[in-house]
């Protein structure tokens, strides 16, 4: 079953039903070494999944659950290796979306759920996105409209020291304030053995090749216009721009990612815009980078993944 969360739509299966779990991987075309996140509706359900809840983990559950934060715990032996990709840890979160909460309460068992899209594609933030990828492949799709956050949960590992494995809308700054200590961010380019979803493989990618431009905003605009001037008239090049620069591009298709100082807007729009580029049959996508601070760190992470590491840095 596909259900909405505050982050993206999820494709769920009961956490200890291996046949159902294997179907998730088959439907998505998901690599088996990419672990799943287990969703719960009550913190009491942790006891069936994890062998220990540290004081740091307890601090974060009180501060951010329910909400878009996934915590890596040492797992209990009964948690299937299909869920954990053979790791001795399990990723758990408590979603805040009312439909997800109601569904989890009704099932009253933890539910493992990755994003409800074909592996590698932009994550689904609308029911229509799920239909594009999975229609006829799943039995039920609960459509509750757009997902408010529009970007996957933050994933944090706490032992031996706090490290963000995947940035999200619970920011580095928020985590540091809650824990009272420094929180590191994992290097996204060094993830041969992923401990959380979204770390190893190309993700969030549109069909057309994307090129990401990072650096001084004025020079980014100039460089993108230079590329546009060099393009062939037969090409359908799409620019994804900040709101402030929409009218500055010499191009037919310019899409609004949101204001430069509002990365949460960019987070909510990003995947929908990437999918719209596919609908336009774009031949190439040129994207303005965002400042990697606050929620912008998560948006920058997704943009770099979507571009497959094809980044132009201007200064």
Query: Is 153 one of the annotated binding-site residues?
Result: yes
Query: Is 26 one of the annotated binding-site residues?
Result: no
φ, ψ of residue 312 in degrees (nearest 5):
-105, 120
Query: Is 70 one of the annotated binding-site residues?
Result: no
φ, ψ of residue 211 in degrees (nearest 5):
-125, 125
**Residues 6+ away with beta carbon under 8 Å from 277:** 206, 207, 208, 238, 240, 255, 285
**Residue 309 zone, left/alpha/beta (φ > 0; ψ -120 to 50; rest):** left
Query: Is 115 one of the annotated binding-site residues?
Result: yes
Query: Is 93 one of the annotated binding-site residues?
Result: yes
Query: Is 39 one of the annotated binding-site residues?
Result: yes
Q: How far is CA 127 from CA 23, 88, 197, in A?
A: 20, 34, 21
Longest dimension (CA), the chain: 61
- Could you give the 3-state DSSP secondary structure of residue 257? strand
Angle at 188 between CA 198 and CA 129, to 5 degrees: 30
**Residues 6+ away with beta carbon under 8 Å from 296:** 263, 266, 290
Query: Is 55 one of the annotated binding-site residues?
Result: no
Helix, strand and coil in the chain, % to nearest 5: 35, 20, 45
- Cis check: omega of the bond before 160, within 30 degrees of 0: yes
Query: Is 262 one of the annotated binding-site residues?
Result: no
Query: Is 77 one of the annotated binding-site residues?
Result: no
Mark the binding-site residues for L-threonine, compressed into ranges: 7, 39, 93, 113, 153
Mark the binding-site residues, compressed into ranges: 7, 30, 34, 39, 89, 93, 113, 115, 123, 153, 166, 204
Mark the binding-site residues for ATP, compressed into ranges: 30, 34, 89, 115, 123, 166, 204
């Amino acid at each position: 079953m596909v259900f909405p969360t505050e982050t993206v739509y999820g494709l769920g299966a009961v956490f200890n039903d291996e046949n159902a779990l294997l179907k998730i991987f088959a439907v998505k075309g998901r690599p088996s070494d990419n672990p799943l996140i287990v969703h719960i509706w009550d913190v009491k359900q942790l006891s069936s999944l994890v062998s220990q809840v540290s004081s740091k983990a307890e601090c974060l559950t009180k501060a951010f659950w329910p909400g878009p934060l996934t915590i890596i715990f040492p797992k209990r032996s009964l948690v299937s290796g299909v869920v954990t990709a053979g790791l001795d840890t399990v990723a758990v979160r408590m979603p805040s979306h009312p439909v997800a909460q109601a569904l989890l309460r009704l099932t009253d068992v933890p539910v493992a759920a990755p994003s409800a899209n074909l592996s590698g594609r932009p994550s689904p933030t609308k029911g229509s996105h799920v239909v594009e990828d999975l229609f006829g492949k799943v039995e039920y799709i609960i459509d509750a409209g757009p997902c408010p956050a529009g970007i996957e949960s933050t994933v944090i590992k706490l032992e031996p020291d706090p490290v963000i494995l995947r940035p999200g809308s619970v920011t580095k700054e928020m985590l540091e304030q809650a824990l009272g200590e420094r929180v590191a961010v994992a290097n996204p380019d060094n993830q041969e053995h992923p401990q959380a979803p979204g770390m190893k493989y190309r993700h969030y990618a549109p069909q057309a090749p994307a090129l990401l431009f990072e650096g001084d905003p004025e020079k980014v605009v100039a460089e993108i216009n230079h590329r546009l001037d060099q393009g062939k008239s037969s090409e359908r090049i799409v620019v994804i721009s900040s709101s402030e620069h929409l009218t500055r591009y010499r191009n037919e298709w310019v899409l609004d990612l949101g204001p430069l100082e509002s990365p949460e807007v960019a987070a909510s729009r990003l995947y929908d815009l990437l999918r719209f580029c596919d609908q336009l049959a774009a031949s190439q996508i040129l994207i303005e980078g965002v400042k990697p601070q606050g929620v912008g760190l998560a948006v920058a992470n997704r943009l770099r993944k979507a571009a497959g590491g094809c980044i132009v840095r201007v200064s």
